[in-house]
Amino acid sequence: MKYYYSVAKDREKELKIKRSTFIAHLHYVQTMQEAKEYISNIADEHKTANHNCWAYIVGEKGETFHSSDAGEPSGTAGQPMLNALKKHEMTNIVAVVTRYFGGVKLGIRGLIEAYGETVEAAIEISPLRKLIKLSSYKISCGYDLAEQIKYKVEQFTAKVSNVDYTAEVTISISIEDQLKDDLEKYLIELEKAGKLKIVK
């Protein structure tokens, strides 16, 4: 089962490499438009920088991605940044690396390493946030079946998020989208047998 990751909050990491200053900025986004807006904001903040190179990945499975060398030699900035994000199975993420040139040329290999390492260093600041889509269900049943259903639901790696005891027992359940099929089948079978009611 494949999971994707992003950042829970903005990250910034600065590295000094052969007198040049490289600053990585990582930001959570959900659309290409949000990624482009963030890139523009960073470029505005760092107007005096020599380069503001960027890469972003969006989509549930990281299906949309783009990068730019922003004036650095072709293939030396955007692609290594993108590679670092992909290596960590990231999506819904934009990375901008700001470079202030320090007077020493790094060469093609040096640039590729510098841009990749700066993004990598920002990623490694703390654990990434796992991106999980949840499905939720609410069911009602008699007191006699409640405990059995709660136990069974947890066997499906689902979570009982709330239980209300009134005339009947109402159980709220949440489960990862990619794990929901067997649970759904179980609930529908019990509903058909008249043992519970799926409220939503």
CATH code assigned at 145: 3.30.70.380
Cα–Cα distance measured from residue 189 to residue 73, given in angstroms and rounded to the nearest whole number: 61
Q: Which range of residues forms the domain containing residue 165?
A: 132-198
Task: Provide the number of structural domains found in the chain.
Answer: 2
In a shared domain, residues 101 and 44: yes
Cα–Cα distance measured from residue 71 to residue 144, given in angstroms and rounded to the nearest whole number: 70
pLDDT value of position 141: 93
In a shared domain, residues 72 and 114: yes
Domain boundary pick from 86, 114, 130: 130
In a shared domain, residues 83 and 63: yes
In a shared domain, residues 158 and 185: yes
Other Cβ atoms less than 10 A from the Cβ of 171: the count is 21
In a shared domain, residues 79 and 11: yes
In a shared domain, residues 179 and 80: no
pLDDT value of position 125: 96
Q: Which two tokens stand for residue 127?
A: 């654990």
Cα–Cα distance measured from residue 56 to residue 68, given in angstroms and rounded to the nearest whole number: 9
pLDDT value of position 2: 82
Q: What is the pTM of this model?
A: 0.78
Cα–Cα distance measured from residue 122 to residue 42, given in angstroms and rounded to the nearest whole number: 16
pLDDT value of position 200: 78
In a shared domain, residues 89 and 109: yes
In a shared domain, residues 164 and 181: yes
Largest CA distance in the chain: 77
pLDDT value of position 1: 67
Q: Are 36 and 43 in contact (CB under 8 A)?
A: no
Each residue's pLDDT, cut to its tens digit, for the chain (200 residues) gives 689 999 999 999 999 999 999 999 999 999 999 999 999 999 999 999 999 999 999 998 899 999 999 999 999 999 999 999 999 999 999 999 999 999 899 999 999 999 999 999 999 999 999 998 899 999 999 999 999 999 999 899 899 989 999 999 999 999 998 889 999 999 999 999 999 999 87
In a shared domain, residues 181 and 98: no
In a shared domain, residues 18 and 108: yes
Domain boundary pick from 100, 130, 160: 130
